[in-house]
Amino acid sequence: MNSLLIGLLSIWAAANQAADASDRAVKNSGVAIHAPNPNDPVEREYLKLLEEDDAAQEEVDKWIRDEQAFAKAGAGISRAALGARIDQRFGKVRKAYKDFLFLHPKHARARLAYGSFLNETGEEDEAVAEWERARELDPKNPAAWNNLANHYGHHGPVDKAFAYYEKAIEINASESTYHWNLATTVYLFRRDAMEYYKFTETQVFDRALELYRKALQLDPKNFILAHDYAQSYYGIKPLRTAEALAAWQQALKLANDDVEREGIYLHLARVELNSGLFEDSRKHLGVVTNQMHLNLKNRLLRNLTEKQTQAQATNAPAPKASPPK
């Protein structure tokens, strides 16, 4: 059983924890279903291959979700049995890709898709080889550059990630994902970015924020992107209070439900608390009622009371947020 299958199975074996909205995973661009000539039998075969890949991924995801439920009920099959079942299902897709590429070795989009499949199934070195081949066959396909940049961003060298994301943007500047990915990588690998771009740390932050804003301009309704952008301000010292609050207000407008909205209120309260805007912080904390947010709310309330007491003891005037740049 390969490492991915072990990882997949650990999803239901481990405690079921909700994903943290602050996770800064770098996104894949995906492989667009594109048929220059829908009547071309090779293109029809290629599209059928993608459909089979998608169907297998969805089926395996369902098996894992079902096992999560069965495991909680004390039932289900063994991990080894599920692993073998997954391996067999993905094996059919792997063979289909190999058969297609044996007949059509210069089909760049199929190599790109096969690389993504291999990456999803834990065969990263093989995935990189397919993406590199796809890039050589079609150097104007931005997805190949983006996917390789994702790999180098995780495994190094980071300089290649910067260069490859820049190339993807050069080829297709209208794709939000490429700007988002580069923004995240620049932000996370600040020292590498300082050396690569010959920037100061402040300039690196400015570059990352500029890329986030461009991504949002291209995809203005993306809540996760807006959340990612707003959260970036936590790493900047001194805190750019007005800009951070504006970013969180932007994310608030995109929230899909009360849980997301109250999560944003907590972030607003945290920024205001750290900036001495105590009354604004208390107001935002006051509208948070969801049970899942109460622990953090109470912790922020304690911090707020402590900081407000300290400020009153020194008779320090309440600061005002400077206007965003």
Task: For residue 193, give the H/E element and its range.
Answer: helix 190-197
Q: Which amino acid is at 9?
A: L
CA distance 276 to 98: 61
CA distance 30 to 32: 6
Per-residue pLDDT reduced to its tens digit, 238-256: 999 999 999 999 999 999 9
Angle 72-78-79 (CA atoms, 0-180°, nearest 5)?
Answer: 90
CA 244 to chain centre: 20
Check: CB of residue 128 under 8 Å from CB of residue 148: yes
Instruction: Please provide the distance, in angstroms rounded to a whole number, between the alpha carbons at the two ends of the chain.
Output: 53
Does the N-terminal peptide bond of residue 323 adopt cis geometry, omega within 30 degrees of 0? no
**DSSP letter, residue 156:** S
Look up residue 228 and give its two tokens: 């990612």
pLDDT of res. 312: 85
Angle 70-76-77 (CA atoms, 0-180°, nearest 5)?
Answer: 150
Does the N-terminal peptide bond of residue 157 adopt cis geometry, omega within 30 degrees of 0? yes
CA distance 36 to 307: 62
Look up residue 265 and give its two tokens: 């209120």
Closest CA to 148 of 105, 116, 123: 116
CA distance 290 to 51: 40
* Per-domain boundaries in the chain: 1-13+30-138, 221-325
In 186-314, the DSSP E strands lie at none
Query: Which residues are CB-neighbours of 195 under 8 A, at least 6 positions away?
Result: none
Query: Which residues are CB-neighbours of 244 under 8 A, at least 6 positions away?
Result: 230, 233, 234, 271
CA neighbours closer than 13 Å in the CB half-sphere of residue 173: 3
Closest CA to 304 of 279, 323, 268: 279
Per-residue pLDDT reduced to its tens digit, 44-68: 999 999 999 999 999 999 988 888 7
pLDDT of res. 321: 54
pLDDT of res. 318: 57
Name the stretches of the chain with pLDDT < 50. 1-27, 30-33, 35
Check: CB of residue 177 under 8 Å from CB of residue 29: yes
CATH 3.30.420.40 fits 1-13+30-138, yes or no: no
CA distance 238 to 199: 18
Angle 180-139-177 (CA atoms, 0-180°, nearest 5)?
Answer: 10
Q: List, as one string, the DSSP characters of 198-232.
A: T--HHHHHHHHHHHHHHHHHHSTT-HHHHHHHHHG
